[in-house]
Structure 1
């Protein structure tokens, strides 16, 4: 039995890599520790699980309903892919240039930071949502492609949960320099992925244009 019929390995690799570099587990560690500083260890673990659950739920909702939203707004897949590539490139530049928006302010100490801003928009933000929607659009109606995208989303979030769950230990192990190095590498990979998305969309536009 050919496994490619049920699982698209190439789609999985692309979606998983894109999500990981967007979610940026090393870069999330200091943000998570800052937002949950007033919580004890048990509450931090609970916050990590809640944030992961919120993020994966939001992203999967857009993965399932994204095509209907595009159809309703009369947006083509190529337009989404081009705009998504530009958006991801901007995220990559923030990672490479070391821009930091700082610790998000919830505005209220009673707000559950695991839901906002950790779950969304830090994890389930515009970059990760657009990346998954582009992957789903590329998968089209292929069962193997859909399975690959969903598995990639789940595994990427398991990695994010582990990074937040063991954030204190990882922060001590990697140190500021290690976290910065991994963040820069993630930015470089994301820039390459974004460029490929833009180039592919432009070529499709040119090929389908009628002069």
Structure 2
């Protein structure tokens, strides 16, 4: 049982890491907070990550009820989610900024923290789909694991945002771009696997 939980936790972590990718998001964060003071940057990082955590946890816990409310079936969700994740991963692989992750508006610190950072960069459709995919047919134990793992991912993201200037300086834009491509490939594979699982469920294969 313990091995099963460890395997599940690792799978969830890698899925979240692929779709959120704190390292590749550091240049985006730096671009969004350009011209802000250190105090404002820390505030933006804290508010954006906390908001993203709350949004995703709500979807994880209430996911089944949301499905029932809108009459969404698990196969339909897996197929649509798989296509969406593949699309985001493919754009990352092709070195394009996904439209799902991109927002160029300039606003106040609080507005920036909510959008585009919390939504859709951190808690965008890809992250929500990834989270809900892990709990569509899971018990409360695995739901708790997903929430804890996402919490760890959010903490890592917060640290990456706070240290974004140092990370970019140490790793360089080229290495970060390579990491982004690798994460894009992994995300596309996860999307394909999710799509296949959805088709199998839909047609009872």
Q: TM-score, normalised by structure 1?
A: 0.89
Q: Which moved more, 1:167-176 or 1:42-51?
A: 42-51
Cα distance change of structure 1 residues 80 and 114 upon mapping to structure 2, 3 Å threshold: same
Q: Tell me if the contact between 1:34 and 1:103 (Cα under 8 Å) persists in the aligned partners.
A: no
CA-CA distance at 1:87 after TM superposition: 0.4
1:153-191 superposed Cα distances (whole Å, 9 cap, x missing partner): 111111111111110000001101111010011011111
Rounded to whole Å, the distance in 2 between the matches of 1:143 and 1:180 is 37
Q: Distance in 1 between matches of 2:118 and 2:102?
A: 14
Q: 1:151 aligns with which of 148, 153, 159?
A: 148
Structure 1 residue ranges without an equivalent (≥5): none
Q: Rate the CA distance shift 1:168–1:108 in 2: closer, same or farther, 3 A.
A: closer
How many residue pairs align between the two structures? 203
Identify the range of structure 1 (54-63 vs 92-101) with the bigger mean alpha-carbon deviation. 92-101
Structure 1 distance, partners of 2:160, 2:70, is: 37
Mark the CA change 1:70 to 1:103 in structure 2 (over 3 Å): closer, same or farther: closer
Unaligned runs of 5+ in 2: none
For residues 205 and 70 of structure 1, the distance between their equivalents in structure 2, rounded to whole angstroms, comes to 16
Matched residue, 1:99: 96
Whole-angstrom distance in 2 between the partners of 1:93 and 1:158? 26
| Equivalent in the alignment of 1:52 | 49
Instruction: Give 1:30's aligned residue.
Output: 27
1:40 to 28, 37, 47: 37
- Give 1:107 deviation, angstroms: 5.2
Q: Deviations over 1:29-55 (max 9, x none)?
A: 111111111211222122111111010
TM-fit CA distance, 1:111: 5.3
**1:122: which partner in 2?**
121
2:193 to 193, 196, 199: 196
Larger deviation, residues 90-99 vs 66-75: 66-75
Q: Which runs of 4+ in 1 moved over 6 A?
A: none
TM-score normalised over the length of structure 2: 0.91
Could you tell me how far 1:11 is from its partner in structure 2? 2.4
Larger Rg: 1
String of CA shifts for 1:119-167, please: whole Å, max 9, x gaps: 111111011011111111131xx23312221111111111111111110
| 2:9 is aligned with 1:12 | yes
